[in-house]
Amino acid sequence: MIYLDYHATTPVDARVLEVMLPYFGERFGNAASKHHAFGWAASDAVERARKQIAALVGASSKDVVFTSGATEANNLAIKGAAEARRGERDHLVTVATEHKSVLDPMRRLERDGWGLTVLPVSGSGLIDLEALARAITARTALVSVMAANNEIGVLQPIKQAAALAHAHGAWFHTDAVQAIGKVPFHVEDLDVDLVSMTAHKIYGPKGAGALYVRRPSTALRAGKGPSSATAAEGKRDVKLAGQIDGGGHERGLRSGTLNVPGIVGFGHAAEIARTEMAAEALRVAGLRDRLLERLQARTEGMSVNGAMDARLPGNLNVSFAGIDGEALLVSLDDIAVSSGAACTAAEPSHVLVALGLAKDRALASLRFGIGRTTTLDEVEYAAAKVADVVTRLRNMSPV
Amino acid sequence: MRYSDQVLKRVREPQRVGTLPAGAGVGTGASGTLDEGTVTRIDVRLSGQTIVEARFKVFGCSAAIASASLVAEWLEGASLDEAKGLTAERVTQALQLAHERAPMARRAVEAAQRAISAAETKNE
């Protein structure tokens, strides 16, 4: 079975697993136990991981808040910002192609009385910065734009979007789950306030995530860019309201006993990603380009979904004319990929619909995610297999 | 989107895919539209009171392909009475289709019944 679904999840890197294992065994302590060596060892490991994760995104480790994953991080960012700014502001902005863990909290807040603008994207999947500028007002509390899309891999202009938000005093959140460790991402360069991350997309374990939460002092310490001025004026004092109450862990933003082995794994995965990212991105992009080239050579009626020039190196999303995507997926018995498809009353992927794809094209799509363990042979095999199945399904069609 | 082995086998290694050349005893039936997302076509060749050949074509999901494939398999060698007694419930049960996939079985059976009626007309 060939795994080409690295946007869904990644295997835990053997080096990551190795550093995690002691924290299931002899170093089992609770990081919140302040009075004995078991707790100190756990706490030290957590703080080391916090630094490793912060280093990957150019942050101060004090700005990293651990969560159970990116869904929780997105919920904390959005609901936490809304609760903190309620009464002061009443409007939120996001994008139609966001992950459901951004869109659903936004819609819940809309039902609670918040104004919500969901921006469309162009056919390439990119946001229109002028439309974003028009959407943000002095009433906007938070703007959330994902760094890299999980289906089409498109990279949004985060720095420009964040600047537009800040011009009106809005906080800026980005779901960077697919971007970090794959493409350069630096919280100070981008001047973002809230960043969601997760371990299992970067060869770490499931169940460990983090939210970067900018404190005003970060910008002041950095002493650069427009953020210093705005922070000095108090406009960027990002103080979220915690959404899980309990022991006051994680600066009071996320109570709950820390998942020490998971966090240790997250930290080590972040460190590996930081040191190997540049070389791996080149290798993975080469494989992706080969896959595209082979598919184009062997398959007529195929189109690429989303911009190719602003895209994650390991992502390819294509649609095929004249076939059912679900049948395609089921026919690919030895290749693990994803599709925007389902059966009968299927609703196509909201991301592909937002690009303007017709329902049949959106349903007949495949998402390839190429990653650390993918080989050239696997890519060649997958391209040939997909082309064969597409031909067989087309020959089977009566229309 | 988990399917039984009966469905997977028919999607991955389909048998009896195709059409039958028009002629005496050959009938074609179709069900569904592109807008609905599924089009099933079944061809049968009737000789006397027996269906001697059956073929199918499908645009649609795995459940639709497997349903049409199974129906074509059952039709071949069946008497007219047996063929007319074929029900979608039997297809759904044999393929262990989930409730929401049942319309795919109905498409296949509807296409088959239309093909049989057309074949009877041409057989006379």
Give residue-wise pLDDT tens across range B87-111. 999 999 999 999 989 999 999 999 9
- Distances from the Cα of A384 to the Cα of A106, A364, A390, angstroms: 42, 18, 10
Chain segment B6-52, per-residue pLDDT in tens: 999 999 999 999 999 999 999 999 999 988 889 999 999 999 999 99
pLDDT confidence of residue A234: 44
Whether the pLDDT of residue B76 is over 50: the answer is: yes
Task: Give yes or no for residue B73 having a pLDDT over 70.
Answer: yes
User: Which amino acid, residue A36?
Assistant: H
Nearest to B29 by CA among B58, B63, B65, B62: B58
B61 and A324 within 8 Å at the Cβ level: the answer is yes
Angle between helices B102-123 and B88-95 (to 10 degrees): 130
- Kindly determine whether residue B61 and residue A326, on different chains, have CB atoms separated by under 8 Å: yes
**Cβ-Cβ contacts under 8 Å, B30 against chain A:** 398
Report the residue of chain B nearest A393, measured CA to CA: B59
More reliable by pLDDT, A323 or A228 = A323
Interface probe, candidates B1, B5, B92, chain A, greatest A C-beta count within 10 A: B1
Average pLDDT for A122-141? 97
Looking only at the bridges linking them, the beta strands covering A194-198 and A171-175 are: parallel
Give A395 to chain B, closest Cα distance, Å: 8
Per-residue pLDDT at A228: 44
Query: What length does chain B have?
Result: 124
CB contact under 8 A, A398 and B41: yes
Containing B71, the helix (H) or strand (E) segment is: helix B62-75
Q: Is the pLDDT of residue A286 over 60?
A: yes
Return mean pLDDT, chain A. 93
Helix A70-85 / helix A100-111 crossing angle, nearest 10 deg: 30
Torsion of CA B18, B21, B24, B28, to 10 degrees: 50
Chain A residue nearest residue B99, CA to CA: A344
pLDDT-based confidence at A218, cuts 50/70/90? very low
Per-residue pLDDT tens over the stretch A59-101: 999 999 999 999 999 999 999 999 999 999 999 999 999 999 9
Residue B51, chain A, CB below 8 Å: the answer is: no
Residues of B in contact with A342 (CB under 8 A): 1, 61
pLDDT digits (tens, 9 = 90+) for A329-383: 999 999 999 876 544 446 788 999 999 998 888 888 999 999 999 999 999 999 9
Residues of A in contact with B11 (CB under 8 A): 327, 330-331
- Identify whether the C-beta of residue A307 lies closer than 8 Å to the C-beta of residue A365: no
From chain B, the residues in CB contact with A323 under 8 A are 59
pLDDT at res. A222: 52
Token digits of residue A23:
């924290």
pLDDT reported for residue A340:
61
In this complex, which of A327, A344, A399 lies closest to B100 when CB atoms are compared?
Answer: A344
pLDDT at residue number A217: 59
Q: Is B63's pLDDT higher than 70?
A: yes
Q: Is B32 on the interface with A (CB under 8 A)?
A: no
**Is there a contact between A399 and B39 if contact means CB atoms under 8 Å apart?**
yes
| Contact check, Cβ <8 Å, B57/A343 | no
Among candidates B1, B17, B61 on the partner chain, residue whose Cβ is nearest the Cβ of A396: B17
Residues of A with a catalytic annotation lie at: 343
Residue A74: which H helix or E strand, with range?
Answer: helix A70-85
Q: Does A398 touch chain B (CB under 8 A)?
A: yes
Taking the C-alpha atoms of A144, A146, A147 and A153 in order, what is their torsion angle to the nearest 10 degrees? -160
